[in-house]
Amino acid sequence: MDFSDKKVLVTGASRGIGKATAIAFAQKGAKIGINFRSNLNEAKKTLSELPGEGHHLFQKDISQKENCQTLIDEFISAYGSLDVLVNNAGISIFHDIDEVDFDHWTDAWENTFRTNLFAAANMCFCAAQAMMKSGGGRIVNVSSRGAFRGEPTKPAYGASKAALNAMSQSLAKKLAPHNIYVGAVAPGFTETEMAAITLTTKERENLLRESPFQRMAQPEEVAHAILFLASDGAEYSSGTIIDVNGASYLRS
Ligand SMILES: NC(=O)c1ccc[n+]([C@@H]2O[C@H](COP(=O)([O-])OP(=O)(O)OC[C@H]3O[C@@H](n4cnc5c(N)ncnc54)[C@H](OP(=O)(O)O)[C@@H]3O)[C@@H](O)[C@H]2O)c1
């Protein structure tokens, strides 16, 4: 896969899957916009680890809709065009229905949807306007295995990712005539801060047993699938949702 001089924007790229994706694109010659919300030190560290030149940081909380348009505008000012958008930023909040109070429940749903779905939808809108002007592009949305098998302790998370899948498929149909190809990658548990924070030791042991690989995914393995969907030759895979879950959950 060659991304020489492609301009790629990765949301939530200060750490975890976003960081691995940014590095993987940069290794193939792309220029990367690293979006993140708050952790400037981590973002600067990621920037320093990218091979090649011409990469930039874009600190924006994309759960605020006005920041999505500003982010795309600033990216276009810096690079002239946008070839690939990876909607990776996401949050995961516990809200067990038999434990939390109503305020916790409603906050969890609102915050989860604002980041995992509405931000991605708004980024798709703003990116698509820029891509239509320049003749095309690629959008890859980072979903989750939880969209398919349920998330009993984080139902808003599972629902937001199921909606993200449906949005990806709808936009794949709508945008193909504009040479914009849209896909999604659905990881299982992946060795990042998000997984470290949300898992107890016992849960971790149980989860490792779910995959015949007896391990979590590495962020680089998720990045590999993201790059495939954004690569030349993957156009006809538009609308696809790629599972990266070590055969832990096989959907038909
Ligand atoms: N790890 C897993 O097991 C797993 C499994 C399935 C799917 N996923 C999905 O993969 C994606 C990445 O997960 P991860 O594990 O790499 O997460 P992570 O380690 O928690 O990193 C999250 C990244 O998203 C950024 N972010 C969060 N909210 C944001 C906002 N409102 N605006 C801009 N940036 C924001 C964070 O920025 P700051 O550092 O500045 O806060 C950080 O860079 C998520 O969509 C997640 O749902 C993860």
Which of 157, 181, 236, 249 is an active site residue? 157
pLDDT at 190: 95
Average confidence score pLDDT of the chain: 96
- Assess whether the C-beta atom of 160 lies below 6 angstroms from ligand 1: no
Nearest residue (CA) to ligand 1, atom 15: 194
Return all residues near 81 (Cβ < 8 A) that are at least 6 apart.
7, 130, 134
Query: Which residue, among 22, 27, 38, 23, has the nearest Cα to 4 in the 3D structure?
Result: 27
- Assess whether the C-beta atom of 46 lies below 6 angstroms from ligand 1: no
Separation of CA 238 and ligand 1 centre (Å)? 23
Q: How confident is the model at residue 206 (pLDDT cuts 50, 70, 90)?
A: confident
Which sequence spans correspond to the domains of the chain? 7-244
Q: Over range 41-53, report the average pLDDT.
A: 97
Whether 157 is catalytic is yes
Query: Which residue, among 148, 118, 138, 108, has the nearest Cα to 1 in the 3D structure?
Result: 138
Residue 109 has pLDDT above 80, yes or no: yes
pLDDT at 143: 98
Nearest residue (CA) to ligand 1, atom 43: 12
Residue 1 has pLDDT above 90, yes or no: no
Q: How confident is the model at residue 194 (pLDDT cuts 50, 70, 90)?
A: confident
pLDDT at 198: 66
pLDDT at 63: 98
Residue 64 CA: nearest ligand 1 atom is 31
Separation of CA 36 and ligand 1 centre (Å)? 9
Q: What pTM value is reported for the model?
A: 0.97
pLDDT at 219: 98
Share of the chain above pLDDT 70, in %: 100
CA distance 158 to 184: 15
Residue 74 has pLDDT above 70, yes or no: yes
Return all residues near 185 (Cβ < 8 A) that are at least 6 apart.
140, 141, 142, 143, 222, 225, 226, 229, 241, 242, 244
Nearest residue (CA) to ligand 1, atom 14: 16
Residue 202 has pLDDT above 90, yes or no: no
For the stretch 9-37, pLDDT in tens is 999 999 999 999 999 999 999 999 999 99
Separation of CA 89 and ligand 1 centre (Å)? 4
When the candidates are 3.10.20.600, 3.40.50.720, 3.40.605.10, 3.30.70.260, the CATH number that belongs to 7-244 is 3.40.50.720
Separation of CA 12 and ligand 1 centre (Å)? 5
66, 164, 190, 194, best to mutate for ligand 1 pocket (most atoms within 8 Å of CB): 194
Q: Where are the alpha helices (DSSP H) in the chain?
A: 16-27, 40-49, 65-79, 102-113, 119-134, 146-149, 155-175, 193-198, 201-210, 219-230
pLDDT at 174: 98
Residue 199 has pLDDT above 80, yes or no: no
Nearest residue (CA) to ligand 1, atom 23: 12
- Assess whether the C-beta atom of 10 lies below 6 angstroms from ligand 1: no
For the stretch 144-182, pLDDT in tens is 999 999 999 999 999 999 999 999 999 999 999 999 999
List the structure tokens of 164. Answer: 């993200």
pLDDT at 152: 95
Q: How confident is the model at residue 195 (pLDDT cuts 50, 70, 90)?
A: confident
**In b/e form, how buried is each residue of 27-44, taking b as 16+ CB within 10 angstroms?**
ebebbbbbbbbeeeebbe
